[in-house]
Amino acid sequence: MADGSGRFALRAEGVRHAYGKSDVLKDFSLEVGEGEFVALMGPSGSGKSTFLHLAAGLLKPSAGRIRVGGVEVTALGDGAAARFRRRHVGVVFQSFNLIETLTVAENILLPARLDRAAIDRRRLDMLIDALALRGLEGKLPGALSGGERQRTAIGRALYMRPHAILADEPTGSLDAKSARAICGLLAEMNKTECIAVLLVTHDPVVAAAASRVCFIKDGAIAASRPTGGDTAEISRLYLEICS
């Protein structure tokens, strides 16, 4: 499903991925429009996190292809995939994956430093304010709360103005209040930055932040529905489709 422009931030076609002799993804296809916010839900082991790693170029599929921003990620070698990820894909993990010896500001700027790109101080200041990190930019991750760490990780993902944000259970390590704040932040940045977001979750409350939810079962997309922000309806659909 594309946005009104008919263009896609991410398109996966016929993706298959196996661990050993077991297929995790089987003929998996998904489209995320430019500026769209999509949640991907499914039970543990259904392949939702595996797909995010494939879309980020961290894994290679057994078959099929994935395009992000018009680039076929599945055709890139390891070095090219790492460069593409730094420049065009923002990845947010449950475990934050911050560099403990770098400050908040330095963690946000890490993709640019690795890419040897000029530092955009106005972009950094805008993100620090938008992510409510003002006053924390000189602190190390060890001095931050879980929510502050995740906001820093989101800043790092957004800094390079990527085609898409891929968020893998980004609220899984947070308390309920911080989780709601992160969901609201992702929705707001999706709206203001017009960057597509694909969020993997098993939590209907988190999925309700998206405009559309896709359910994965038996290694493929079983259904796709608008969320309407309705947690109860998402829960009902999840039980109906994925159980």
- Residue pair 41/201 in contact by the 8 Å Cβ criterion: yes
With cut-offs at 50, 70 and 90, classify the pLDDT of residue 197.
very high
Spatial strand order of the sheet with 63-68 comes to: 22-33, 8-19, 63-68, 71-72
- The CATH number of whichever domain residue 87 belongs to comes to 3.40.50.300
Residue 49 counted as domain residue: yes
Cα–Cα distance for residue pair 131/148, rounded to 1 Å: 9
Does some domain include residue 208? yes
Q: Which of 15-24, 27-36, 96-105, 206-215 has the lowest mean pLDDT?
A: 15-24
Q: Is residue 27 part of a domain?
A: no
Averaged confidence pLDDT in the chain: 91
Q: Which two tokens stand for residue 162?
A: 């990527």
- Give domain status of residue 155, yes or no: yes
- Give me the mean pLDDT over the 165-169 stretch: 93
Tell me which residue has tokens 């993990």: 93
Residue 68 placed within a domain: no
Q: What percent of the chain has pLDDT over 90?
A: 75
How many structural domains does the chain have?
1
Tell me the whole-structure pTM to 2 decimals: 0.91
Residue 86 lies in a domain: yes
Query: Does 189 map to a domain?
Result: yes
Please give the pLDDT value at position 223. 96
Domain hosting 130: range is 35-57+77-242
Longest dimension (CA), the chain: 51
CA dihedral 105, 108, 109, 113 (to 10 degrees): 120
The answer as to whether 128 is a domain residue is yes
